[in-house]
């Protein structure tokens, strides 16, 4: 298995894997395509097995109380259904977080299962809010500095939240 930055020739495979990973829904693949089109993918990695894309993870900038402050959002993360629960997503997230840190990011937020994201160091922080998401499911990981507080907004590709 190999993890590397996405390349233009990966775009269709990323869309297929993302659509399949989300039960045939196209919304998440459209988010990735929109982020790419707008130049808003800070880190976008694929995991290859036998030269085929079997997983993808995206990280994009977020605003906190309307300000850019070096924070990013994790997601979507997608793994081909027949390879889910085999460590592919975990490997992509670990590598993606390392690359985000190396780029000088201050931190990362994610909306998801706290039990899953805890293993990467994410924790709930009631001082950060995201739309109408349940507070327990919105988490942050601080790389440097003081944890921010306020309302988090993802890129418009996510539907304006």
For 50, residues 6+ apart whose C-beta sits below 8 A from its C-beta are none
Segments making up each domain of the chain, as ranges: 2-158
- CATH classification code of 2-158: 3.40.630.30
pLDDT tens digits, 97-120: 999 999 999 999 999 999 999 999
As given in the structure block, the two tokens for residue 33 are 């395509």
pLDDT tens digits, 51-82: 999 999 999 999 999 999 999 999 999 999 99
As given in the structure block, the two tokens for residue 118 are 């805890």
CA distance 43 to 60: 7
CA distance 122 to 6: 25
pLDDT tens digits, 6-16: 999 999 999 99
């Amino acid at each position: 298995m190999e993890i590397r930055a996405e390349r233009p020739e990966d775009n269709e495979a990323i869309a297929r894997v993302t659509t399949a990973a989300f039960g045939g829904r196209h919304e998440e693949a459209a988010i990735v395509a929109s982020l790419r089109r707008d130049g808003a993918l800070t880190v976008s990695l694929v995991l290859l097995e036998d030269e085929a894309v079997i997983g993808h993870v995206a990280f994009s900038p977020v605003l906190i109380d309307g300000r850019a402050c070096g924070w990013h959002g994790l997601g979507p993360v997608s793994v081909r259904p027949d390879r889910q629960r085999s460590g592919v997503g975990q490997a992509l997230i670990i590598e993606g977080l390392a690359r985000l840190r190396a780029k000088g990011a201050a931190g990362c937020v994610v909306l998801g299962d706290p039990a899953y994201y805890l293993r990467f160091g994410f924790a709930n922080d009631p001082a950060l809010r995201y739309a109408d998401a349940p507070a327990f499911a919105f988490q942050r990981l601080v790389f440097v500095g003081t944890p921010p507080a306020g309302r988090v907004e993802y890129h418009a590709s996510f539907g304006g939240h």
